[in-house]
Amino acid sequence: MSADASTSVNYLNHDRSIKSWLLTLDHKRIGILYLVVISLVFLGAGILALFIRLEQIAPGQDIMGPDAYNQIFTIHGVLMVFAFIIPAIPAILGNFVLPMQLGAKDVAFPRLNLLSFYLYVGGALIVLSALLVGRIDGGWTFYAPYSIRVGDSILFVTMGVFVMGFSSILTGVNFIVTIHKMRAPGLTWNRLPLFVWSLYSTAIVQVLATPVIGITVLLLFLERLLGIGIFDPALGGDPVLFQHFFWFYSHPAVYVMILPAFGIISELIGTFSRHRIFGYRFVALSSIAIAFLGALVWGHHLFVAGQSALASTVFSLLTFLIGIPTGVKVVNWVVTMHQGSIQLRTPMLYALMFLILFSIGGFTGIMLGVLPIDIHLHDTYFIVAHFHYVMVGGNVIAALGGLHYWWPKITGKIFNETLGRIAAGLIFVGFNLTFFPQFITGSRGMPRRYYDYPVEFESLNQLSTYGSWVLAAGMFLIAGYLLHSLFKGKKASANPWGSLTLEWTHTNRLPIPHNFERTPIVTRGAYDFHLAKDLFKDEPSGNGVDSHQVPDLEQEGRPEA
């Protein structure tokens, strides 16, 4: 059957009408819809970032005035956080992969899934429509009272964020139920792929924290509309209360960003080391630990905002504790490679890059948790560097790794490995060049959200701007060869990397509309490579492409059944 897989029915070709795409209930197609829209958002917000860097190439006015600059970093932040990074991995890769990894035909609520997508698009459009009303200004944190003084545009921004929040909640609910109720027979919690575990903990955070940002932006909305006096000091409200509300969501949100990335990294390291994930249970449960601890540390964003010294002390202590389950993961990933069989394909390069960059981001996070150090570093470029190391170096790098890893399953095509490695290299170099200098400018005192800056910071800023070009070159290269592979790429095999999770072992090269011909029965853990030796029996050595052709399911039966 593998030979005629291209001519047989698959989820892409069974109906090609536009309507069948826009109204699809198939989780894989919804994943692709997200992929298209979220990539466009990333492109847009990324280009805004290039403008930020261009303006920062020298002190004073370079290409725009202060009002334009302030709007650009605000839109960059809002889009990147609410419209890109929060939905990116769960909504694109989670949607595509989760049901297949569970051996299910779809998520539990396919219609809700489609609704989430349209809520997401609608919310993003509402945010952008604010530009027609006035400026989007004040940073992605829209602290009161500045945000309520800017103009009516804040009404649209808050409304849009509210709507996108609902999308996030519904996706979370959908995933939790799917994981609980839709697992194939034999797929016990101990055999779940770690990506599933990470989506599970992410969904918990989404469900528990997102409603709070919902109510926060609703109150901010009403503050602007009616002047309800909760946050506005001029009316007797408390601006610090807003910050507590905001970070009560937005700190857990950073774990919505990073937990799914952890899941991808586990998949990549497992597959490309062909080795059981060391301390599987610790890795799985530390996600849950992070999810819960993450709900208790929001106050570390308010060390200098006027919260009580006692509160700061407690939040500082809790913040440190977050580093411990994260450290457990990092150690376990590294140890997984011990005595493995490591293959450095493009996705694995991203996994290694992740370990390097995320560790830097994480360690600087720990620095920020130390009260006196944060007092010095708060709202400087050091923070900007910290969160780009965790968000770009963590989430985006993992997302790129995941995208490359699942690309053959999504499109049935394999991308150009050489270009893949070059792009990964460009991104690694460009990224460090862009953001490492910002640690230094920041700790030497350059504040963030600064249109203009003292001349002593010029050379480091210049370096950072050059770096952003290298970084962008890498990104555009990826977009280029991925698109190219769609049309000209070699056909991938059903399981080109030799993975053990169900989406690779039990589906065709391109999955059929309901994923599986028959519900798979699972008999081993997601990384028990030693129990699936026959998968790797007679591989053609050579360029590695198509090297792990799965034995045809129909002819040879299920390897593990």
Partner 1 sequence: MAEASTVTADRPKHLHPHFVSSEQQFDAAKMGMWLFLVTEILLFSGLFVAYTVFRIWYPEVFSHSAELLDWRLGGLNTIVLLASSLTVAMGVHYAQTNERKKLVRALILTICFAAVFMIVKYFEYTGKFAHGVFPGVNFDPHGTAGGHDYAAYNIPFAAQFFSIYFVMTGVHGLHVLIGIGLFSWIVIRANKGHFSSEYYTPVEITGLYWHLVDIIWIFLFPLLYLI
Partner 2 sequence: MGENGSVFLPEASSSFASEVDALFNFVLAVSTVFFIAVVGTMIYFVIRYRRRSHSFVPAPGKDSRLLELVSIVFPTILVLILFTWGFQVFITLSTAPPDSYEIRVRGKQWFWEFEYPNGVVTVNEMYVPLNKPVRLKMSAEDVLHSFFVPEFRVKHDVIPNRYTTVWFEATKAGEYRIYCTEYCGTQHSAMLGMVHAVPEAEFNTWLQNQDQDIPLLDLGERIFSQYACNACHAIDGTRKIGPQLNGLAGITRTLDDGSTVVADDSYIRESILDPNAKVVDGFAPGLMPAALGASLTPRQLDGLLEYIKSLE
Interacting positions 426-445 with partner 2 (CB under 8 A): 439-440, 443-445
Smaller CB distance to partner 1: residue 45 or 230?
230
- Residue 462: how many CB atoms within 10 A of its CB? 15
Residue whose CB is less far from partner 2, 146 or 292: 146
- Is 481 in a helix, a strand, or coil? helix
Structure tokens at 275: 């080795």
CB of 375 to ligand HEA, least distance (A): 8
Q: Is residue 46 involved in binding ligand HEA (CB under 6 A)?
A: yes
Interface with ligand HEA includes 260 (CB under 6 A)? no
* Binding residues for partner 2, total number by CB under 8 A: 94
Does 1 participate in binding partner 1 (rule CB under 8 A)? Answer: no
Contacts of 369 (CB under 8 A, 6+ apart): 300, 316, 319, 320, 323
Distance of alpha carbon 172 from alpha carbon 260, whole angstroms: 12
Q: Answer yes or no whether residue 258 interacts with ligand HEA by CB under 6 A.
A: yes
Residue 276 or 490 having the CB closest to partner 2: 276
Single out the residue of 204, 383, 414, 510 in contact with ligand HEA (rule: CB under 6 A).
Answer: 383
List all residues 6 or more positions away from 474 whose beta carbon is below 8 Å from its beta carbon: 423, 424, 425, 426, 427, 430
Q: Which one of residues 212, 377, 392, 423 is an interface residue with partner 1 (CB under 8 A)? A: 212
Is residue 371 a contact residue for partner 2 (CB under 8 A)?
A: yes
User: In the window 289-308, what residues touch partner 2 (CB under 8 A)?
Assistant: 304-306
Regarding 185 and contact with partner 2 (CB under 8 A), the answer is no
**CA-based radius of gyration for the chain:** 23
Sign of the C-alpha dihedral computed for residues 319, 321, 323 and 325 taken in this order: negative
Tell me the sheet residues that pair with 515: 512
Sign of CA dihedral 251, 257, 258, 259: positive
Nearest CB to partner 1, comparing residues 159 and 268 = 159
Nearer of residues 217 and 478 to partner 1, judged by Cβ: 217
In whole angstroms, what is the distance from residue 29 CA to residue 12 CA?
A: 8
Output the smallest distance, CB 221 to partner 1, in A. 10
Q: Which of residues 70-109 bind partner 2 (CB under 8 A)?
A: 70
Pick 541 or 555: Cβ nearer partner 1: 555
Which of partner 2, partner 1, Cu ion, none does residue 239 bind (CB under 5 to 8 Å by kind)? partner 2
Q: Provide the sign of the torsion angle of the four alpha carbons 113, 119, 124, 125, taken in this order.
A: positive
**Quick check: 419 binds ligand HEA (CB under 6 A)?**
no
251 contact choice in partner 2, partner 1, Cu ion, none (CB below 5 to 8 Å, kind-dependent): Cu ion
Q: Is 186 in the site for partner 2 (CB under 8 A)?
A: no
Q: Which is nearer to partner 2, 517 or 528 (by Cβ)?
A: 528
| Residue from 75, 472, 502, 526 in contact with ligand HEA (CB under 6 A) | 472
Interacting residue with partner 1 among 6, 61, 313, 519 (CB under 8 A):
519
Kindly state whether residue 503 participates in binding partner 1, applying the rule CB under 8 A.
no
Pick one of partner 2, ligand HEA, partner 1, none as the site partner of residue 215 (Cβ within 5 to 8 A by kind). partner 1
User: Contacting partner 2 (CB under 8 A), which of 389, 415, 450, 457?
Assistant: 450
Torsion (CA) 207, 211, 217, 218 in degrees, nearest 10: 150
Whether cis (ω within 30° of 0) applies to the bond prior to 145 is: yes
Q: Which helix (H) or strand (E) holds 414?
A: strand 413-414
Provide the b/e sequence for 211-240 (b: ≥16 CB within 10 Å). Answer: ebbbebbebbbbbbeeeeebbbeeeebebb
* Among 6, 40, 459, 536, contact with partner 2 (rule: CB under 8 A): 536
CA contacts within 13 A on the Cβ side of 360:
22
Q: Is position 174 an interface residue for partner 1 (rule: CB under 8 A)?
A: yes
| Angular region, 186: left φ>0, alpha ψ -120 to 50, beta rest | left
By the 8 A CB rule, do 252 and 209 touch?
Answer: yes
Q: How far apart are CA 24 and CA 40, in angstroms?
A: 20
Stretch that binds ligand HEA, among 134-142, 177-185, 494-502, 531-539 (CB under 6 A): 134-142
By rule CB under 6 A, what count of residues binds ligand HEA? 61
79 binds, among ligand HEA, Cu ion, partner 2, none (CB under 5 to 8 A by kind): none
Instruction: Please pick, from the candidates 434, 493, 495, 499, the single residue that binds ligand HEA as defined by CB under 6 A.
Output: 434
Alpha helices in 151-238 (DSSP H): 153-181, 194-226
- Binding residues for Cu ion, rule: CB under 5 A, are 251
Candidates 108, 124, 269, 500: give the one binding partner 1 (CB under 8 A): 108
Rounded to whole angstroms, the Cα distance separating 244 from 249 reads 9
Report the distance separating Cα 134 and Cα 71, nearest Å: 10
* Lookup: tokens for 276: 């059981």
Positions in the binding site for ligand HEA (CB under 6 A)? 39, 42-43, 46, 49-50, 52-53, 73-74, 76-77, 80-81, 84-85, 139-141, 254, 257-258, 300-301, 319, 322-323, 326-327, 330, 359, 362-363, 365-366, 368-369, 374, 378, 383-384, 386-388, 390-392, 394-396, 434, 448-450, 468, 471-472, 475-476, 478-479
